[in-house]
Amino acid sequence: MSISIDVLIESTKDIDLKSIAQKVKDNKRITDEEGLTLFEKGELPFVGALANFIRERLHGNTTYFNRNFHIEPTNVCVFSCKFCSYSKLYANKEDGWELSIDQMLNIVKSYDGKPITEVHIVGGVHPKMNMAYFIELMQKIKAHRPSLHVKAFTAVELEYMFRKAKLTIEEGMKQLHDAGLDSLPGGGAEIFHPAIREQIAADKVDATGWLRIHEVAHELGMHSNATMLYGHIEKYEHRIDHMRRLRELQDKTKGFNTFIPLKFRNQDNDMSNVAESTITEDMRLYAIARIYLDNFPHLKAYWPMLGRQNAQLSLSFGVNDIDGTIDDSTKIYSMAGSEEQSPKMSTEELVQLIKQVKRKPIERDTLYNVVKDYSEVVEF
């Protein structure tokens, strides 16, 4: 059983932390300064108790997952993010892969008859894979399986596509939406603050561009996710700056579904000299994100990156979603040294993982409509 919020407030000596705990109890928004205070002074049990309180208030014991698969059209990329272990520069493209439309459609067809609700399509930024290419892909996927939710393209891929096609964001987004694009994943956000972004992802879309693309998607009625790549050279203030920009946009559009912190992994990239964050820092970040982002309905732990046991642990630090049953075509993390080298988990395994820590497993679709309650299911 979790600690009572009244006991927590009562027993907290530090006056700043006490006042934050009171705000959480009263369902009031914390300020940027208070967010920073949590990073600087909030120990894991304290922030964890607050995040747990918020999670219970929002979702009870429900933990969501979905049934999806990933397609990565290419790992060839015109950009050169320092943390990326996955991309092959266009100049060295012989080392990379490029899937044709038919190959991608065959991946979709390989899930025919399986109860999958979503395809997640994200890859490198290949100069030849343009608007026309992806419009055709969207149309063919929808013609084959109209009910499959297509969550595709980071703002980085979209900005490049629209720029090459000489389209405004509004025009480009509308064309893709009309062709079948349903929502946007949260990638490419990294760290918005220019002082850090210029050091780790200098040549791709900046914060303003990333946020504007998501805003336009929201204006068209689409939903999206937001990520933050943390645990490298950023400071606490940059994390708060990042989350502040997201919270402001969410106040305006209410179009974000979930926030997904992505732990920096240091294998085989140009930032291998940077140590990875500790599990304590990871859990503190989840908890503080849950407290600060009061207008984000969901907080997701991406289990292929964190590993199964840490994903379970995160459910006690504000997380209410552990993504999906991903097949082993997801390479971006395994190539960077993530916990799961071949991330594949059956629905049964995912359900057991959630039940083991006394949470209620609920399969959702991309927009968090309930597909199936697995609390009582024993036969798969």
CA distance linking residue 346 with residue 308, whole number of Å? 13
Cα 206 to Cα 188: distance, rounded to the nearest angstrom: 9
- The CA-based angle 13-294-28, given to 5 degrees, is 50
Under rule CB under 6 A, residue 119 binds ligand V47: no
Q: Examine residue 188 and tell whether it contacts ligand V47 (CB under 6 A).
A: yes
Q: Choose between 8 and 262: whose C-beta lies nearer to ligand V47.
A: 262
- To the nearest whole angstrom, how small is the minimum distance from the Cβ of residue 17 to ligand V47? 30
One residue of 117, 269, 314, 334 binding ligand V47 per CB under 6 A: 269
The closest residue (CB) to ligand V47 is 187
Footprint on residues 122-151 left by ligand V47 (CB under 6 A):
122
Q: Which does 260 bind (CB under 5 to 8 A by kind): ligand SF4, ligand V47, none?
A: ligand V47
Question: Interacting stretch for ligand V47, rule CB under 6 A, among 19-27, 57-65, 179-187, 354-362?
Answer: 179-187
For residues 55 and 320, the answer to whether their CB atoms sit within 8 Å is yes
By CB under 6 A, what part of segment 121-180 binds ligand SF4? 124-125, 156
- Judged by CB under 6 A, the residue of 124, 187, 209, 343 near ligand V47 is 187
Answer for which of 213, 260, 293, 311 binds ligand V47 (CB under 6 A) is: 260
Residue-wise burial string across 32-64, b where 16 or more C-beta atoms lie within 10 A, e elsewhere: eebbbbbbeebeeebbbbbbbbbbeebbebbbb
CB of 77 to ligand V47, least distance (A): 11
Nearer to ligand SF4, 124 or 361 (CB): 124
Decide: 104 and 129 in contact? Cβ < 8 Å.
no
Name the 3-class secondary structure at 63: strand
Orientation angle between helical segments 169-179 and 155-164, nearest 10 degrees: 110
Decide if residue 351 touches ligand SF4 (CB under 6 A).
no
SS3 276: coil
Q: How far is CA 95 from the centre of its chain?
A: 28
Our CB check for ligand V47 shows the closer of 56 and 206 to be 206
Backbone torsions φ then ψ of 235, nearest 5 degrees: -105, 170
Near ligand V47 in 85-104, by CB under 6 A: 85
Q: Note whether 46 binds ligand V47 by CB under 6 A.
A: no
- Report d(CA 254, CA 238) in Å as an integer: 23
List of residues contacting ligand V47 (CB under 6 A): 83-85, 122, 154, 185-188, 190, 225, 227, 229, 260, 262, 264-265, 269, 302, 332, 336
